[in-house]
Amino acid sequence: MIKRRALLAYVVAALATTLSAAVPTTASAADYPDKPITMIVPWKAGGTTETMAQVLSKAMAEELGQKVIVKTKPGGGAAVGATYTARQKADGYTIMYADLGGLIWNPMTKPVKYKTEDFKIIAGISEYQMGLVTTPGKPYKTLPELIEYTKKNPLNVADMGGMSKPFLEFIAKKEGVKWTPIPTRGGGEMVPFLLGGKVDFAYSGGVHQKYGDKMIVLASFLSAPLPKAPYAPSTQDLYGIAMPGNSVLVAPKGVAPEVAAKLEAAAKASMADPDFTKILERIQFPKRFIASSEMDAFVAQVTEQLQDVVDALK
């Protein structure tokens, strides 16, 4: 009888422990967020991604009722910040604002310690305006002129790693020229390099659009010319290759569906924030919301397109 009572007491205690452990998990999802959220930006401060993130984070903080703190972790063409984010707890308190192309491209082409599948893509937010840019006063104002000038004069180019370097190598190989790459950690470092004359031309994720006539677009890296530079051809038209330009909000894989839904709703609402609208107008980036439910198909499509580029570079 005593043994049965002891066994019953053990079972009841174990059940109580299990139930008590389950309650905080349910409550934390229901009460999310109950502490500040960290938004990682895998580029240096001052570039377009960090600029958008700073404004978006404030709008999301209003929607979520908690601070959203932006932290930059540049390096490796966004690989450093992405690796850090992928390793964090999937509790919704670490998210990342980044470019979709980099999330897909780096695992395809580098020995990085994460895969695209290690992230839950919360929402698509806007479109970058990637281009090849230079400054006025140079002996070239178009990409063909730049290529002809390179054949007789050594030039260097600022690249941000990720997709920019292999895309530049692809073009150089096609044209039979060589450029010396100068690594930069985002637009915040590229701009002073270019305006200060440290590099002859540069890859830009779109930060050039804040500088008006201080920079000239030589080519668009998207599938069509940039709206602000319709005179410059796209690499799709010239070489049959293009970059995906979507900025996305992501969280580590495994985040609770309820938490992901709250983040998605906050991101979507924040896109209508006047300050966020104003900053996108200033840098001339179009909004492009893509729901989380549409992301799997969209990522598959982008991956297929980038695989074509990888195959062409072999």
Q: CB neighbours of 158 closer than 8 A, spacing ≥ 6?
A: 181, 182, 183, 184, 190, 193, 194, 198, 199, 201, 202, 203
- CA neighbor of 88 nearest in space, from 250, 246, 248: 250
User: CA angle 222-226-227, nearest 5°?
Assistant: 145
Integer Cα distance of 276 and 298 in angstroms: 24
- Quote the CA–CA distance of 131 and 231 in Å, as a whole number: 12
Mean pLDDT of 189-203: 96
Predicted local distance difference test score (pLDDT) of residue 1: 46
Summarize pLDDT for 140-150 with one digit per residue, the tens. 999 999 999 99
Cα of 63 vs its chain's centroid, Å: 22
Please tell me whether residue 29 adopts helix, strand or coil conformation. Answer: helix
Please state which of the four CATH numbers 3.40.50.450, 3.30.950.10, 3.40.190.10, 1.10.3720.10 is assigned to the domain occupying 131-239: 3.40.190.10
Give me the mean pLDDT over the 125-131 stretch: 94
What local confidence, expressed as pLDDT, does residue 165 receive? 87
Band of residue 28 on the pLDDT scale cut at 50, 70, 90: low
Instruction: Evaluate if residue 127 carries a pLDDT over 80.
Output: yes
Average pLDDT over residues 176-203: 94
Q: What are phi and psi of 251, to 5 degrees?
A: -135, 160
What single-letter amino acid sits at 13? A
Query: Which string of DSSP letters, residue by residue, matches 82-146?
Result: HHHHHTS-SSSSEEEEEEHHHHHHHHHHS--S--GGGEEEEEEEEE---EEEE-TTSS-SSHHHH
pLDDT at residue 111 tops 70: yes
Span 6-24, mean pLDDT?
43
Residue 8, pLDDT score:
44
What is the rounded average pLDDT of the residues 63-87? Answer: 96
The mean pLDDT value for 59-77 works out to 96
Strands 94-99 and 246-252: antiparallel
Domain parsing of the chain, residue ranges: 32-128+245-313, 131-239
Say if residue 312's pLDDT is above 90: no
**What is the C-alpha to C-alpha distance for residues 212 and 67, in angstroms, rounded to an integer?**
33
* Same topology between domain 32-128+245-313 and domain 131-239: yes
Sheet holding 155-159, edge to edge: 179-183, 155-159, 201-204, 131-134, 216-220
Q: Residue 310's pLDDT is what?
A: 85
With H, G, I as helix, E, B as strand and everything else as coil, classify residue 177. coil
Q: Which CATH class is domain 32-128+245-313?
A: alpha beta
Q: Work out the number of other CB atoms within 10 angstroms of the CB of residue 141.
A: 16
> How long a stretch of residues is the chain?
314
Q: What is the mean pLDDT of the chain?
A: 89
pTM here?
Answer: 0.77
Gap between the Cα atoms of 163 and 67, Å rounded: 32
Find how far residue 297's CA is from the centre of its chain.
18
Does the structure show a pLDDT above 80 at 204? yes
Q: Does the structure show a pLDDT above 90 at 166?
A: no
Pairing relationship of beta strands 37-41 and 155-159 according to DSSP bridges: unpaired
